[in-house]
Structure 1
Amino acid sequence: MRIVEISSYVASPLCGMTLAQLGADVIRVEPVGGAVDRSRWPVADNGTSLYWSSLNKGKRAVEVDLSSEHGRRLVGDLIVSGGSRGGIVVSNSGRLAGLNYETLRERRSDVIHVLLNGARDGGTAVDYTVQAATGFPMLTGPEGMAGAVNNPLPTWDVAAGLYLAVGLLAAERHRLLTGEGQQVRVALEDVALATAGNLGYLAEAQLSSSPRERGGNDVFGSFGRDFTTADGQRLMVVALTVRHWRELVEVAGLTEVVAALASALRVDFEEESERYRHRRLLGGLLAGWFESHSLAQAEAALRATRVLWARYRSFSDFAADRARLLRENPLMSEVRQPGVGTYWAPGSPLVMGGRQSVPEPAPLVGQHTDALLRAELGLSQDDLAVLRKSGVIGTREDEWPVA
């Protein structure tokens, strides 16, 4: 499968990388000089974007002036070429003249055009505006807080990128069976709306007489919260099942105390809903046990149970603590990224036939322009020289930085 990607930021590049890691030939089209997101943080010490390098692994890159009619025509030629493996484009811009679905369909009737919009009507939106509009920031943060708290993870971008990939594969499957192409559209706002609906948040908001309030680090509807140990470390502990709950109470030496409390309140703490309703009382009892034990003691006790738990770590702590595990995990491989250096990076988390993909470096600006246009469109060196002189395409092969 060959996919032409005209995109930026998170969702559509994630779609392309997801498919590249499964074996698709993904051609990233960038304007001359590189895309606007090539400098996005986090960055290496020399300013190279770690974000861009990480989100565009394994793709090929061409550098074309998309503001010119000639450049857009060239990209259109690339999209509609490729025989049965081609004719697929992923984009987060539906306004590029000559590269919209209607125009491309006139050139190739079975074209698959996958488009990300911010809003269903084609309006603009980004992850953080969608967060604000859907109410999630009003549920994040400590109890009693009045303001909004954004999630630093671009949740809707990530989900939208995976929806784009699923939609593309479904459309390609349909084309394989029927010979028909189609446009696949995903709106970032719809992804958030669908997720809120699928998790029951929307139904609750419509049908409940009392709106959901902030719960701090408590797990909504179950028993889960953070605890501080005697040496000031923090753990997240979750007891979803009856077995989890019994073992947590037992390890803390509170079986009889909790049973007496249940009897006094006339409730059954083996019911998940009751554990949640009385989470403050139960959490207070358990907090005393954690506060009298060091992190090492708490971890040792919890390892002997089925209780779900993890120590809170920063990203730096995680990378340092898990250095050996990163090396031993088949998901991770060393990547030598030009402009960055060598570091451990993930392939696809999908295990296909017992194998996982090995991550490849992200491309340099225009790295494959000449080779792709020669191989896919049959252009000669003279043709490329004319295009380059007129500013339609960018960097020459001999101008690429040394890896």
Structure 2
Amino acid sequence: MYNLLSGLSLIEVSSFVASPTVGLYCGQMGAEVIRVDHVAGGLDYDRFMLTREGRSLSWENLNRAKKSVALDLRSGEGRELCVELARKTGQLITNLPEHSFLKHSVLEQGRPDMVSLRIMGWHDGRQAMDFTVNAASGYPLMTGPEDWDPDTAPPINQVMPAWDFITGAYSAFALLAALRHRDMTGEGSEVRVPLGDVAIGTLANSGGMAEMLYRGRDRERLGNAIWGAFGRDFLSKDGKRFMVAALTPKQWDGLIAAFDVAERIASLETELGVDFSSGDEPRFAHRHRLFEMFQSVAASHDYAELTKRMAAQGCTFERYRTAHEAANDPELVTNNPLFGPSPANPSGFEYPATRSFANMPGREAGDPQPAPYLGQHSEEVLAERLGLSSGEIGRLVDAGVVGLSDGGSK
């Protein structure tokens, strides 16, 4: 954890993936992130997969380095405490609906410089989740085997909720931009980031929307081939499947050398009347002939030999792994400074945890921090932020408005 954001405190009222990701990234950069949940846990508190003790591994990893306050957010008094915490702190992250008790017009009363970051579904207020905006984006109908019938073939959903994580990352940027604006002008801001806009906007920013409008039809499915360039999966003699990509002249020349196909490439260029070294277009247009050539070489060598040859030529490649293999891979995890020692996780399960994705030479990244127990910091935060006495906090606990740590109670 870097301390670039030390001194910044954030109140987070979140659930699921996108909104907690904002606080996670800010916390990994040194911000104090105080997550406020309902006393029984938020909608994501028991999100699959659960350990035998009933602890959510998803919740545990999305809420590292945060503090936890548990309030009865269905009661008026609990909501008032949450609003007051947000006002006192001055900045809020949430994915509650815009007309909830945490709407910006309420928060800015008495706090005109309030900054609130709200993650929404669609820009018009409709609900959405990663997998539904992905369906609307068109991407699931671009994926799948090349020989599938475009009129009858089913969509292929991505497994990882990529739009959630992209939205969380963009929202962290937008939040810090609003805070910088406040530092310069004294003005507060309401920032809304619709998940659906991130998805359709990314399609546009990638050039995909312009492409579809220009061509007047959908892009064909390509299997595992890279659109518009040379790249695909190949299978070695010993059954290892790997991905190669050649988007630059150096990558293309290295691949030719590693696979020892210079003469065959020259012969194919003469036959087709093209120059594959001229760029992506001819390599993509004639990809099937090239794929056949490279696969014939791959099928004649074990992966270890191919690895040695491709590495020597500076090729860009990687072997396909299962997620379980990736989690146990020394190169990806054990020897990777991204990962630190297991903190004292609420689940009691020990495993490598990530530091900040950013690598800052000369700065100490620090070890990964644990997620809190639900309500672990309720007393501390209410006393320090709102100035409540121990007696008043005790009354709120007895009334069920405030929850204390659920450590060991799962």
TM-score tier after normalising by the smaller chain length: over 0.9
Q: In structure 2, how many angstroms separate the alpha carbons of the residues matched to 1:301 and 1:9? A: 44
- Residue equivalent to 1:336: 344
Q: What is the CA deviation profile of residues 77-97 of structure 1, one whole-angstrom value per residue up to 9, with x for unaligned ones?
A: 11111xxxx300011013564
- Residue equivalent to 1:387: 396
- Residue equivalent to 1:93: 96
TM-score normalised by structure 1 residue count: 0.95
1:318-329 matches, within 5 Å, as 318-322=326-330, 326-329=333-336
Report the AA paired with residue 351 of structure 2: Y
Where 1:76 maps in the other structure, the secondary structure is helix
Report the AA paired with residue 129 of structure 1: T
Report the AA paired with residue 161 of structure 2: P
Does the alignment pair 1:372 with 2:381? yes
Q: In structure 2, how many angstroms separate the alpha carbons of the residues matched to 1:376 and 1:140? A: 50
Q: Which moved more, 1:146-155 or 1:340-349?
A: 340-349
1:143 shift after superposition? 1.1
What's the C-alpha RMSD, in Å, of the aligned pairs?
1.6
CA, structure 1 residues 303+97, in 2 after alignment: closer, same or farther (shift >3 Å)? Answer: closer
Give the alignment partner of residue 132 of structure 2, picking from 122, 129, 133: 129
Report the AA paired with residue 139 of structure 2: F
Q: In structure 1, how many angstroms separate the alpha carbons of the residues matched to 2:320 and 2:337? A: 24
Q: In structure 1, how many angstroms separate the alpha carbons of the residues matched to 2:187 and 2:288? A: 58
1:55 shift after superposition? 0.6
Regions of 4+ moved over 3 Å: 95-98
- Residue equivalent to 2:178: 171
Does the alignment pair 1:29 with 2:36? yes
Q: Which moved more, 1:120-129 or 1:252-261?
A: 252-261
1:142 shift after superposition? 1.3
Instruction: Report if the CA contact (8 A) 1:336-1:343 is conserved.
Output: no
Instruction: Report if the CA contact (8 A) 1:118-1:188 is conserved.
Output: yes
1:277-316 matches, within 5 Å, as 277-316=285-324
- Residue equivalent to 2:146: 143
1:199-348 matches, within 5 Å, as 199-270=206-277, 271-322=279-330, 326-334=333-341, 335-348=343-356
Q: What is the CA deviation profile of residues 313-357 of structure 1, one whole-angstrom value per residue up to 9, with x for unaligned ones?
A: 1121122232x6633332211122022322101011113463324
Aligned residue pairs total: 396
Where 1:38 maps in the other structure, the secondary structure is coil
Give the alignment partner of residue 63 of structure 1, picking from 64, 70, 75: 70
1:401 shift after superposition? 2.4
TM-score normalised by structure 2 residue count: 0.93
Q: In structure 2, how many angstroms separate the alpha carbons of the residues matched to 1:76 and 1:276? A: 56
Q: In structure 2, how many angstroms separate the alpha carbons of the residues matched to 1:286 and 1:90? A: 50
Consecutive unaligned residues of structure 1, counting only runs of 5 or more, are: none
Q: In structure 1, how many angstroms separate the alpha carbons of the residues matched to 2:361 and 2:106? A: 39
Instruction: Report if the CA contact (8 A) 1:50-1:340 is conserved.
Output: no
1:402 shift after superposition? 8.6
Q: In structure 2, how many angstroms separate the alpha carbons of the residues matched to 1:357 and 1:116? A: 29
Does the alignment pair 1:195 with 2:198? no
1:400 shift after superposition? 3.3
Q: What is the CA deviation profile of residues 362-395 of structure 1, one whole-angstrom value per residue up to 9, with x for unaligned ones?
A: 0111010011101111111110121122221112
- Residue equivalent to 2:4: none
Q: In structure 1, how many angstroms separate the alpha carbons of the residues matched to 2:236 and 2:52? A: 36
Where 1:103 maps in the other structure, the secondary structure is helix
Report the AA paired with residue 260 of structure 2: G
CA, structure 1 residues 130+97, in 2 after alignment: closer, same or farther (shift >3 Å)? Answer: closer
- Residue equivalent to 1:152: 159
Q: In structure 1, how many angstroms separate the alpha carbons of the residues matched to 2:309 and 2:31? A: 47
CA, structure 1 residues 47+98, in 2 after alignment: closer, same or farther (shift >3 Å)? Answer: closer
CA, structure 1 residues 353+261, in 2 after alignment: closer, same or farther (shift >3 Å)? Answer: closer
Report the AA paired with residue 121 of structure 2: G
Report the AA paired with residue 379 of structure 1: L
Q: In structure 2, how many angstroms separate the alpha carbons of the residues matched to 1:50 and 1:75? A: 26
Q: Which moved more, 1:159-168 or 1:96-105?
A: 96-105
Q: In structure 2, how many angstroms separate the alpha carbons of the residues matched to 1:326 and 1:11? A: 24
Where 1:306 maps in the other structure, the secondary structure is coil
Q: Which moved more, 1:42-51 or 1:124-133?
A: 42-51
Instruction: Report if the CA contact (8 A) 1:22-1:357 is conserved.
Output: no
- Residue equivalent to 2:190: 183
Where 2:388 maps in the other structure, the secondary structure is coil
Give the alignment partner of residue 10 of structure 1, picking from 17, 23, 44: 17
Where 1:343 maps in the other structure, the secondary structure is coil
Give the % identical residues: 39
Consecutive unaligned residues of structure 2, counting only runs of 5 or more, are: 1-7
Q: In structure 2, how many angstroms separate the alpha carbons of the residues matched to 1:132 and 1:29? A: 31
